[in-house]
Structure formats: C-alpha cells, structure tokens
Structure 1
Amino acid sequence: MRIRLLDAAGARQLYESRMARDFPPGELKPFAAMEELLAAGLYEPLTFTDDAGAVLAYAWQVVLPGQQAGLVDYFAVRSDLRGSGIGTRALHLLQAHYAPRLAALLLECEHPAEAPDAAIARRRIGFYLRAGARATALESRVFGARYSILQLPCGETLLPDGTLNTALQTLYSRMVPQPYYRGSVIFYGN
C-alpha cells in the first residue's frame, strides 16, 4: 500500500467523487472551508493506494506546525474493502507517516450514547482500538454532536490527556473561525 499527499485539485476530486458518498451531509464540511485549510497549509489529505494507483482508503488530517498532536478529520475505507484489514493497514501507515513530526493523532468518534446508531458508533470505536488507538478521558461537543476522543500514537509514548486536550483546543481554534467557535466547540476532560 502506498500513501500519497493530494494537491488542491486532487483533494477536490476526492471530495466530489468519494466523500459525499462516504459521509452523511451533517458530518461533511463544505469544500470551501476545507480549501481554506489547504491553502493555509494546515490540512493534509492523503490517499492510500494499491500498486496500480487505485484508492483503497483516504484520510484528511489537520496538522499545525510545532504541535505534538494532529487531528484525523476524516478517514474512510472504500466500501467494498471494509472488513478486509485495509483500514488497519492504512492507520498503521498513517502512524508511520506522521511519526517524524507528531507524537499522536487524535480521533473523534461519535459517542455511542448520542449517536444516531449506537451499534455503529461502538463498532467504529472498537475498530480504532483494535488498530492501536488508545481511549482517553476526553470528550468534545462540536456543533451539537458529542464525540469520544481517542489517541492514535505515532511513536512509543502516549501523550497525557491534558496535553491532548490543549492540542485539540488549539487545532479547533485554527479550524473553526470566531464567532462560530465560541459556544459551538466544547471540550470535556483534563
């Protein structure tokens, strides 16, 4: 499996061809907002491909210079490949890709207590945990949706929840402009 960083044109093509199908409308940012993060150099859309270049999975990360943790904003495996191990392999490749720059990647998962489908939310969290993510005591509420926060370590050291909380607040303060941030993005835990 190979990893490839997309340019703005490739990111738009991925958004239009796959993301609108893979994510519910309420979870998908407008591409214009994503394009602003791309132009600022804070968004890194990656594809995971086979040797022929076919996209198997993709991930979009928010990464700020000088931070210890980034945020996996979107992650999806091609629907016909789900349950085949591709997702786990892609996450391990993602960890290795970011290891030189980050100690961890943060994952937000819908909290089962408030998810539209609690069984899917539990299954998604279970997938990330089996792939090497670690649970934290952190939660967030972003535009009304409640999330459990997981840490996907990019090295041997786990970051403490307090450090992760600070990183998450910093990431969101750059991703969500004021006045939308205040009152719409809330963090719980350390």
Structure 2
Amino acid sequence: MLHLEKLNNAQVENVYKERMVIDFPKAELKPLDILYKAIDKGIYEPLGLFDETKLIGYTFLVKNNLDYLVDYLAVYPQQRNLGSGGVMVRLLPDYLKDAENIIAEIENPEYAENEDDKILQTKRFGFYTRNGCSDTGLRVRCFGVPFMILRWGTKESEDPHALWNLYQSFYRILLPKDMFEKNIKKM
C-alpha cells in the first residue's frame, strides 16, 4: 500500500544526489545545504512515497505555520504513468490534515521554450487538476522560471493579494533577503 513518510537526512541526501539532480532543471534546484538548514529550522518537510518499504517517489514541502508549498514532487522513473504520482498528490491533504493551504508551483506552458516543453507542461497542469488541485490564477517568476500557482487544502480564499503574500512568505523564510528580492517576482 502506498503511503507518505517523513525522510531522514540520509534519505534526503540520497534522493537529492540520485534523483533530484536528474528530475529537476538546475535552475529550479536549491542547494542541498539550504534544504538541510530549512529542515533543521523546522520549516521544510521532506516526504517519501513508499510502496510498503520501497521508496518510489518524494515531495519536499516548505512549511509556514499551517501553510505548505510543494517545493518538489516526483516519482521514480519506473513508477511514472502507473498512477503513483496521482496517489501522492491525493495523499498530501490527508497527510497534512491540519493544513490551511497547500500550494504548488508548476511551469507555465505559455512560456515554454519549445513545443515539446509546452506539451509536457500542459500535461503536468492536467495531472494536478485531475488530482484535486485548482489554478489560483497567480503567476510568478521564481529564479527566472515562470510558474502557475495551484492550490489544494481547506482554506479557499481567492484574494489575489493574500495569495501573493502567502506565496512570498514561503521564500522569505527559506531564502536570504537579497536572494529573495532578486528571484521572487509576481508576473
């Protein structure tokens, strides 16, 4: 049975070095030491998707009180297109049962560099919406990457100003001030 479980530091390092460097573009990947510092501060939660005892996917979350930002989410290649990713997305609200907001960034297909990227990013949007997420309408540029902000959770305020403030709050606690100011922009 598939379930989510918090990862220890050794598992985080293994996932980072063996999977994340492959699963995510370099521009989107935060340095491992920043992730460790955030974990130590209690503002970052690395979760693994397990099939019994076998790690088959992961999601790393930024935590700010009862609000969460899905920073990374991926399943291992051999598990892709088998429904495991959808299960992980649907498990998140149950695992984070006290969450007021869970939001995620996905690449905005309107800014895709080529047709293949646009197709992939459009499929990714469909994947999230099929699995319980909704488009908030908020568009951001994070470290140069144009993102759409999706949401699931119990708090359904659609106030764009409040949502932008929520989004910024995750990066304000995660990044040094100068790095935040250079890299987190509303579109």
Mapping for residues 94-109 of structure 1, pairs under 5 Å: 94-100=92-98, 102-109=99-106
1:46-88: CA deviation from partner (whole Å, max 9, x where unpaired): 001111x1112110000112x4x21000000111221111111
SS in 1 for 2:112: coil
1:24 is matched with 25
For the residues of structure 2 that align with 1:80 and 1:104, how far apart are their CA atoms? Answer: 31
Fraction of identical pairs, as percent: 30
Q: Any conservation in 1 of the 2:27–2:143 contact (CA below 8 Å)?
A: no
RMSD between aligned alpha carbons?
1.5
Q: Tell me, which stretches of 5 or more residues in structure 2 are unaligned?
A: none
Mapping for residues 1-190 of structure 1, pairs under 5 Å: 1-51=2-52, 53-65=53-65, 67=66, 69-100=67-98, 102-116=99-113, 117-153=117-153, 155=154, 157-162=155-160, 163-188=162-187
For the residues of structure 1 that align with 2:73 and 2:89, how far apart are their CA atoms? Answer: 9
Aligned residue identity for 1:73 = D
For the residues of structure 1 that align with 2:34 and 2:112, how far apart are their CA atoms? Answer: 24
1:126-151: CA deviation from partner (whole Å, max 9, x where unpaired): 10000010011101111221111110
For the residues of structure 1 that align with 2:147 and 2:18, how far apart are their CA atoms? Answer: 27
Q: Provide TM-score, normalisation by structure 1.
A: 0.89
Shift of 1:43: 0.7
Shift of 1:161: 3.8
Q: Tell me, which stretches of 5 or more residues in structure 1 are unaligned?
A: none
Aligned residue identity for 2:182 = G
Aligned residue identity for 1:179 = D
- Stretch moving more, 54-63 or 5-14: 5-14
User: Which protein is richer in helix relative to its size?
Assistant: 2
Q: Provide TM-score, normalisation by structure 2.
A: 0.91
Aligned residue identity for 2:143 = F
